Amino acid sequence: MNFALTEEQEFFRTAVADTVDRMIMPQVETIDETDEFPWELWKEFTSLGYLGLRYPEEFGGMDADPVTCMIFYEELSRGSVGFAQAVIMNILMGTYFLYRFGSPAIKERCFLPALRGEKIATMCFTEDQSGSDLAATATTARKVDGGWILNGTKNWITNGPIADFATVVATTDPALGMKGLNFFLVEKGTAGFSHGQILHKVGARGPVTGELVLEDVFVPEENLLGEELGKGGAYLGEILDEVRCMTGAMALGIARTAFADGLEYARKREAFGKPIGTYQLIRAKFADMATEMEASRLLVYQGAWRLGEGLPTRKVAAMAKMFATETCLKVVDEVTRIYGANGFAQEYGPQRYFRDARFLLYGGGTHEILKNFLGREIVSGR
Ligand SMILES: Cc1cc2nc3c(=O)[nH]c(=O)nc-3n(C[C@H](O)[C@H](O)[C@H](O)COP(=O)(O)OP(=O)(O)OC[C@H]3O[C@@H](n4cnc5c(N)ncnc54)[C@H](O)[C@@H]3O)c2cc1C
């Protein structure tokens, strides 16, 4: 077994980490406080070419292996998880189905500009009555001459209100459940396509998150992203493990920042005449946090390595997402305790890590859904 990163991967980590420290870190608090999309940072950061991270060089991408992608997601989230959300949407969920099924014209119009940061992408599954339960999708796609008519409302859409285009999940027949799902490209400016309510998030702030409304939206035939009708669920499966490992990598990033901050505080803060970091109970927190972060790292990067090797990854990816997120939640909680009352003050970092980390609970499957899946697989011997 070899757990070492390659020289290239190590080099990549250093380069991304330097960029994050220099470009993103100084803006983290402003992004959180204003909860406004950081357009200037977006322009500066996306000009570096990272948005093509996982795509082939023929599209101007970096053709990075999954381990390298996780390094990027982890380092970026170590900076601002809100900004990371927006960036990763363009890298993965918001562009994958255009890459996979988009016509040359769609690639030219939407996919390539998204990789250059000139267009903002998003992905729309969630509706008021269907979050975990995708089969309950109520947004409909009705076949008409030359294309499709879409109707429905999506909610909780990252960058939805500012997106230039969206991959929208819609059903051809709600009675078909998962077998009725398909992906459609809908571009900003299409008649009947608008945004509704904007949500005020507790954490992971920066991206504009809210509703997208489709009222008799006509899209041409080529905007159906998929080769076969009713295969939306299967197509989603192509990136599900990557999305779960990615969320685990984001969890690691947030945990690392919180851990480093807590460590610095514990070394400096004195109580009863000694730094609190000299007390056994505080040291035990660091021992537990470091151990669980290391275990998270092994799961996330094992998942990524398996993806790269083309090995089955579904179980380990679910474990990685769940374990790394739960670890992150534990770490951010412990760091607020180490900070004492200061952990309860807006003036210090821990409250932000605490709020940001909650975001990891939802995307890629809630932990109840992941446990249902893992339990089913394990008990049935798969
Ligand atoms: C910051 C943020 C950004 C987001 N961005 C996007 C986006 O860009 N695009 C998008 O489509 N969505 C997005 N989402 C939505 C996200 O994908 C959903 O929140 C997620 O799918 C869970 O759905 P839900 O919130 O409706 O919870 P529900 O599915 O309603 O679940 C509620 C609770 O019930 C539990 N539960 C549900 N079913 C079961 C079961 N069978 N057994 C046991 N427990 C169960 C869940 O685990 C959860 O605890 C975002 C969410 C957040 C917070």
What's the gap in Å between 366 CA and the centre of ligand 1?
A: 6
Does the Cβ of 123 fall within 6 Å of ligand 1?
A: yes
Q: What is the structure's pLDDT at 1?
A: 86
Does the Cβ of 126 fall within 6 Å of ligand 1?
A: yes
Q: Ligand 1, atom 25: nearest CA belongs to which residue? A: 131
Tell me the average pLDDT of the chain.
97
In words, the CATH class of domain 121-230 is: mainly beta
pLDDT in tens, 103-154: 999 999 999 999 999 999 999 999 999 999 999 999 999 999 999 999 999 9
Q: Is the pLDDT of residue 382 over 90?
A: no
- ∠ CA 51-53-58, nearest 5°, is 95
In words, the CATH class of domain 233-379 is: mainly alpha
Q: Ligand 1, atom 24: nearest CA belongs to which residue? A: 131
d(CA 209, CA 195): 10
Does the Cβ of 128 fall within 6 Å of ligand 1?
A: no
With b for 16 or more beta-carbon neighbours within 10 A and e for fewer, the 28-51 pattern comes to: beebbeebebbeebbeebbeeebb
Q: Is the pLDDT of residue 189 over 90?
A: yes
Q: What is the structure's pLDDT at 185?
A: 98
Q: Among the atoms of ligand 1, which is closest to the Cα of residue 132?
A: 29
What's the gap in Å between 364 CA and the centre of ligand 1?
A: 9
| CATH entry 3.20.20.150 includes domain 7-115 | no
HEC readout, the chain: CCCCCCHHHHHHHHHHHHHHHHHHHHHHHHHHHHCCCCHHHHHHHHCCCHHHCCCCHHHCCCCCCHHHHHHHHHHHHHHCHHHHHHHHHHHCCCCHHHHHHCCHHHHHHHHHHHHCCCCCEEEECCECCECCCHHHCCCEEEEECCEEEEEEEEEEEECHHHCCEEEEEEECCHHHHHHHEEEEEEECCCCCEEEEEECCCCCCCCCCEEEEEEEEEEEEHHHEECCCCCCHHHHHHHHHHHHHHHHHHHHHHHHHHHHHHHHHHHHHCEECCEEHHHCHHHHHHHHHHHHHHHHHHHHHHHHHHHHHHCCCCHHHHHHHHHHHHHHHHHHHHHHHHHCHHHHHCCCCCHHHHHHHHHHHHCCCCCHHHHHHHHHHHHHCCC
Does the Cβ of 124 fall within 6 Å of ligand 1?
A: yes
What's the gap in Å between 298 CA and the centre of ligand 1?
A: 26
Does the Cβ of 163 fall within 6 Å of ligand 1?
A: no
Does the Cβ of 210 fall within 6 Å of ligand 1?
A: no
**Model pTM score:** 0.97
Q: What is the structure's pLDDT at 261?
A: 98
pLDDT in tens, 168-182: 999 999 999 999 999
What's the gap in Å between 129 CA and the centre of ligand 1?
A: 10
What's the gap in Å between 127 CA and the centre of ligand 1?
A: 10
What's the gap in Å between 155 CA and the centre of ligand 1?
A: 11
- Domain residues of the chain, as ranges? 7-115, 121-230, 233-379
Does the Cβ of 88 fall within 6 Å of ligand 1?
A: no
pLDDT in tens, 14-32: 999 999 999 999 999 999 9
Q: Among the atoms of ligand 1, which is closest to the Cα of residue 363?
A: 17
What's the gap in Å between 158 CA and the centre of ligand 1?
A: 13
pLDDT in tens, 216-260: 999 999 999 999 999 999 999 999 999 999 999 999 999 999 999
Provide the pLDDT confidence category of residue 162 given band limits of 50, 70 and 90. very high
Provide the pLDDT confidence category of residue 188 given band limits of 50, 70 and 90. very high
Does the Cβ of 372 fall within 6 Å of ligand 1?
A: yes
Q: Among the atoms of ligand 1, which is closest to the Cα of residue 361?
A: 53
pLDDT in tens, 324-348: 999 999 999 999 999 999 999 999 9
What's the gap in Å between 133 CA and the centre of ligand 1?
A: 8
Does the Cβ of 156 fall within 6 Å of ligand 1?
A: yes
For the residues 254-282, what does the mean pLDDT come to? Answer: 98
